Amino acid sequence: MWETVLSLHQLASPDPFFAPWRRTACRALADAGLGPDIRLLTAIAPISSYFPDFLTPPGHTTALETGIDGVLSTARRRLRAEIDRLLEARSCPSGRLDGIGAGRPPALHRLGAALRRYHAVALAPYAPGPLAWARRDMARRAAVLLEQGSEAMLNDLCPGLRWRPPVLEVSYPVARNVRLAGRGLYLVPSFFCHNHPIGFADPELPPVLIYPVARTALWIPRTSSAERGVGQGLEELIGPTRAAALRFLDTGHSTTALAGRLCVSASTASRHAAALRRAGLVATERLGASVLHTRTRLGTELVHGA
C-alpha cells in the first residue's frame, strides 16, 4: 500500500529516475480509461505534508487484497477525522471525498476498485524490478546489522538520516518527534519513496519508517511479454481459485476464513489448501480444533514471479 500511494506521487510529479516509468504508466492508464480513478486517488493521496494514514495500514502485508481490506475496514470515526485533516491541510472543498469520510459503502467500494485497477495497470506489470531492488536492499541491511550492529545499520540506512544516541534524526518535511516508548521501529524499504524517509502522521500508530532503497541508475521499466504475463501465468499454472488462495495466504487463514475469501464451501477450500500444501506452497498448522494455512517462502516467490 505504501508503494501504491508513493507511486501516485511520482505519477503527479516525477523525479527523473521515475520518468520512463511515468511515461509508460500514463499511456497504459489512459488506454484503460482510468482517468476518474486517478483523479480520486490523487485527491485522497496528494503530494503534500499529509495524506491519510488509513491508506497504508500498519503491519507486514505482502498481498494487495489484504492491504485494501485493511483500508476499507477502517473505522468510520477514523475515516472522518483523517479526511477532515486532509481537507483542512489542502484548504479545498470536500467534493468526491465526502462519501469516504462518512464511510459510505458505495464510496469505499469505489476507492477499493480504484486502488485495484491502478495497481494492476501502473504497478503490477513492472513489479519484478522494484521487488528485486527492495530484496537487495534488505539483504544488505541485514548483513550490516549482523556484522556491525544496529547503530551501524541505522547510520547507513539512507541520506538525511543520522543516528545520534539515543535519537534517530531524519530529514522530514515537517518538524515532529516520535517517541517509541518501548515500541519497536518497523523499517520498510520502498522503491517509490524518494528524497526522504516518511512515516505515519498519527503518533499513536505503530512506529514505522519508510525509507528509499539505494538506487544507482535510471530505472527503465521492462515490459516484455514474459513480465506482463506473470499475474496471468499463475492462474494458467494452478487455476484461478488456487492462485487466489495463494495470494490470500500471505497471512494465516483458517479453512473457514479461506472459504469465505474464495466464496467456496469449506470442503472445497480444504481441498485447494491440501493441493497447495502437497506442492510445498502452503504450510498448515493445527491450532486446537481448527487449522491455519499460511503461504511458504516458495509460495511467496511463485506469487511474485520469482
For CA atoms 86, 87, 88, 89, give the dihedral sign: positive
pLDDT at 93: 57
Return the C-alpha cell found at 84.
Answer: 477532515
Instruction: Tell me how far apart the 2 most distant CA atoms of the chain are, in Å.
Output: 56
Query: Distance between CA 5 and CA 8 in Å, rounded?
Result: 5
Q: Are 203 and 227 in contact (CB under 8 A)?
A: no
Q: Which residue type does 181 have? A: A
CATH 3.40.309.10 fits domain 229-303: no
Say which residues have a Cβ less than 8 Å from residue 185's Cβ, sequence separation at least 6: 168, 207, 208, 209
Domain coordinates in residue numbering, the chain: 2-126, 129-212, 229-303
The closest alpha carbon to 209, from 148, 161, 165, 140, belongs to 161
The count of C-alpha atoms lying within 13 angstroms of the C-alpha of 24, restricted to the half-sphere facing its C-beta, is 15
Query: Distance between CA 174 and CA 168 in Å, rounded?
Result: 15
pLDDT, averaged in runs of 10, over the chain (306 residues) = 94 86 91 92 89 90 85 95 89 76 94 93 85 84 90 83 83 79 88 87 90 76 50 73 84 85 82 94 87 90 78
